[in-house]
Copies of this chain bind each other. A is one copy, B any other.
C-alpha cells in the first residue's frame, strides 16, 4: 500500500514512466495470452517434437511468456492435454451429412477421425479420461448422428454405433503406429519386425495357432476379394467393413427394404 504511493512519487518522472509503459505495451503487442493461443502452441510443439516435449515451460517460451502465466488460462497441465486432444480432432467433414447414404457417411466419419489421429499421433498418448463433452468431439458426434438420422435404430444404438466407429478409428491409428500400416491399402509397407518377432517367438508347440498363421507366409497378404464388390469403392479396412456389414444386418432385420447404401 505505502509502497505504491512511494512509487508514484518516485524519482522517475511521469514521462519516463509513460515511455516505459508504452514500451511494455509494445512488448505486449504480442497478441496477449489466451487459451486458444496456448493450446495452439502446444499442438505445434507436439506435432514437431512429440507429446513429451510439451512442458509448461516449453509452451510458455514458445509464446514468449513466463511459465506461470499459462496458469491464468488453463488450470493444470492435464486440462491442457484435454484441450489439445479435442483440438487435434479438428473439424468434421465439410460434406453435409444429410447428402450421404448412411454407409458412405459412416465411412467418411471413421476415415476422417483416423486421419486426424494419423496427423497428430500424440493424441494416442493422451488417455480418454473425460466424457466426450468437448466442442470438437461433440461436432464429430453430431455429424455422425446426422448421418444416422433416418436409420431404424434406437437412440442408444446410434450412440453406440458412433462410439464403436470412433473407437475403431482410434484403434486403427494405434495399430498403425505400432505395427506400421499393416491394415492400410498399400500392403507393401509392412513392418517386418512384427512378423519376424512372431516367427521367432512361436513354434508348433508354443502358441501353435499364431505359429500356423505366421508360417502360412501370407499374413500380410490382402485378399483380392476384399476389394468392395459394391462396385467402385476402394479397399476398405477389414474391420470397418465388418462393422458396417453388421450394422446393415441389423437394419435390414428391422426394415427389410431399407436402402443399404
Q: Are A124 and B131 in contact (CB under 8 A)?
A: no
Interface residue? A58 (CB, 8 A): no
From residue A107, how far is it (CB to closest CB) to chain B in Å?
A: 14
Q: Are A139 and B207 in contact (CB under 8 A)?
A: yes
Q: How far is the CA of A236 from the CA of B49 in the complex (A)?
A: 43
Q: How far is the CA of A221 from the CA of B153 in the complex (A)?
A: 12
Interface residues of A in 187-235 (CB under 8 A from B): 191, 193-194, 197-198, 201-202, 207-210, 212-213, 216, 218-223, 226
Q: Are A159 and B219 in contact (CB under 8 A)?
A: yes
Q: A132 contacts which chain B residues (CB < 8 A)? A: 178
Of the residues B171, B177, B198, B212, contact of A171 by C-beta under 8 Å: B171
Q: Are B210 and A155 in contact (CB under 8 A)?
A: no
Number of copies: 2
- Pick the interface stretch among A18-26, A31-39, A111-119, A141-149: A141-149
Q: A210 contacts which chain B residues (CB < 8 A)? A: 138, 141-142, 145
Q: Are A157 and B223 in contact (CB under 8 A)?
A: yes
Using C-beta atoms within 8 Å of the partner chain, give the interface range for chain A. Answer: 35 or more
From residue A142, how far is it (CB to closest CB) to chain B in Å?
A: 4
Of the residues B146, B155, B218, B223, contact of A221 by C-beta under 8 Å: B155
Q: Are B242 and A209 in contact (CB under 8 A)?
A: no
Interface residue? A160 (CB, 8 A): yes
Interface residue? A9 (CB, 8 A): no
Q: A142 contacts which chain B residues (CB < 8 A)? A: 202, 207-210
Q: Are B138 and A213 in contact (CB under 8 A)?
A: no
Q: Are A221 and B154 in contact (CB under 8 A)?
A: yes
Q: A238 contacts which chain B residues (CB < 8 A)? A: 156-157, 160-161, 164
The 4 closest A-B pairs by CB, nearest first: A246-B246, A167-B171, A242-B246, A145-B209
A-B contact pairs, 11 of them (CB 8 A): A128-B174, A131-B193, A149-B209, A156-B221, A157-B223, A158-B213, A159-B219, A160-B238, A167-B239, A171-B171, A239-B243
